Amino acid sequence: MKNNPNRRAFLRGIGACLALPSLESLGAATTTTAGSGVPPCLAYLYFPNGAAEATWGPEKVGPAGELQKLNRWMAPLEEYKSDIIVTRNLWTPRGNGHGASTATWLTGGAFDNRKNDVGSPSADQIAARHLGGLTPLPSLELSTRGEGSFSGSLPRNCLSWIHRDVPAARETVPRAVFDKLFRRTGEGFVDRSVLDLLLEQSKSLKRHASSADGRKIDEYLDAVRAVEKRLDFAEQQTQRISEDNALTDTLARPAAGIPASHEEYVRQMLELMALAFWSGATRVSTFMLDHGQSNRYFDFVPGVKGTWHALSHWKDASGRTEDDDGKTKWDSTKSKWEMYNSVTRWHHSQFAYFLDRLKALKNADGTSVLDSSMIVYGSGIADGHAHGEKNLPILLAGGGGGMIKTGQYLAPHSDTSLSQLHLALLQRMGVPLEEFGETRTPLAGLST
């Protein structure tokens, strides 16, 4: 096998195409960053319904703005505080509310509901278009399947936009995401492992690779096999629950391919995103942790009752407002506030799981996938009760290949458009862009 100029090898078999991690013995990389030999990846993880005021931020900050201790609601991320930037005073001046804030979170525009117009393509799609054919998939758009009365609302379900009026299609079924990453469409063998299809070619590739790259190929194939096994196990458990009618009050019968456990569902999608970045299948991805006005029940979180959207309106505890389900009420606004925060904390735990996976996966140069990634995690609403648009809960994770200074609290003195963050990250992805949304100023303070 000849050296691949971008160190990216592809295993191809009947019905499958598998991108491998970058391998040192297969050539020199192209399109890298100044601080690393690995091209950066860009991801956006979105959650709806905001976060209660004063629950997003550090408890203790050092004299140079370094994160020393996160607050109790962000405690699942404490172990990763050196890998993140917690922000303050970022806002969306042209988009607010459950629909508009979701639809324009990545566009910097204002949503025109009559035309389904968000003003411009989203930041992720701009990056994907710039990278062109450098990866098998230009981008990967993921989402959980929404629950509640707004699960069919276009603006609440669209984060990525190919054009100002054309949303990108989302993948909601883990098995479909896996096939999109690793199988050719329109071909069979749906019951055979991808790795079985590619085993012979992987052996050939290893014969031309160094011993270190041979171990990396084995490690990567084992990781793919583990995802396959996890998907199979979740499908078996979902089928078992369906056959036994062992459904809880808060869990509707899952559609085919959706795990019965919401946590398992979310983590499968995060695992697949991590694997997509590690393999080089794509360098751009988004994940909607739920649609923009989620009515999902989180009764599986200890001490929590009611839907997420109802909990976000924590100052109404009677259970009789239009946001409530008509059957749940709370003892006090304080207890409802605690439950709302518990749901936020649960999502922090899932994000921490994602960071852990990215940190464990190693690039060819020994750095982690987290080191070479830039990951925005947050919401388009501030405090959910007021539908606030100022001081959005936003954090950034990953070193961007040496272009991001993590472990800090970034708090501009005045309200600062989220578009500045998008512009700064797009420029670090190599996009020759001088303006985004309503700004021509990239967010300051991100660099080392």
Transcribe 155-187 into DSSP letters. Answer: HHH---EEETTEEPPPB--HHHHHHHHHB-TT-
CA 212 to chain centre: 30
In angstroms, the CA 94 to CA 145 distance is 27
Give the torsion sign (CA, 338, 339, 345, 349).
Answer: positive
Q: Is 204 helix (H, G, I), strand (E, B) or coil?
A: helix
In sequence order, which residues have a C-beta less than 8 Å from that of residue 364 and are 6 or more positions away? Answer: 7, 21, 22, 23, 24, 29, 37, 38, 213, 216
Dihedral class, residue 186 (left if φ above 0, else alpha if ψ from -120 to 50, else beta): left
> Using 50, 70 and 90 to split pLDDT, how confident is the model at 133?
confident
What residue ranges do the domains of the chain occupy? 1-29+190-257, 31-172+262-428
Token representation of residue 407: 């472990």
- pLDDT tens digits for range 324-345: 888 999 999 999 999 999 999 9
Residues 201 and 16: their CA atoms lie apart, in Å, by 12
Q: What residues form DSSP beta bridges with 285? A: 43, 140
pLDDT, tens only, 63-73: 999 999 999 99
- CA 417, 419, 425, 430 dihedral sign is negative
Residue 444 backbone phi and psi in degrees, to 5: -85, 155
- pLDDT band for position 99 (cuts 50, 70, 90): confident
Q: Which helix (H) or strand (E) holds 17?
A: strand 16-19
pLDDT of 35 above 80: no
Percent helix, percent strand, percent coil in the chain, to nearest 5: 35, 15, 50
Q: How many C-beta neighbours within 10 Å does residue 413 have? A: 7
User: Collapsing DSSP states into helix, strand and coil, what is residue 262?
Assistant: helix
Specify the residue for token string 């195409």: 17
pLDDT, tens digit, 9 for 90 and up, residues 105-121:
999 999 888 888 999 99
At position 248, the amino acid (one-letter code) is T
- pLDDT average, residue stretch 138-164: 87
- For 387, other C-beta atoms within 10 Å of its C-beta total 17
CA atoms of 378 and 374, how far apart (whole Å): 13
Percent residues over pLDDT 70 in the chain: 79
Q: What CATH number was assigned to the domain covering residues 31-172+262-428?
A: 3.40.720
> For all residues of the chain together, what is the average pLDDT?
84
The separation between CA 115 and the C-alpha centre of its own chain, rounded to angstroms, equals 28
**Bridge partners of residue 395, in order along the sequence:** 86, 377
Place of tokens 């995060």: 270
Instruction: Give the separation between CA 132 and CA 153, rounded to whole angstroms.
Output: 30
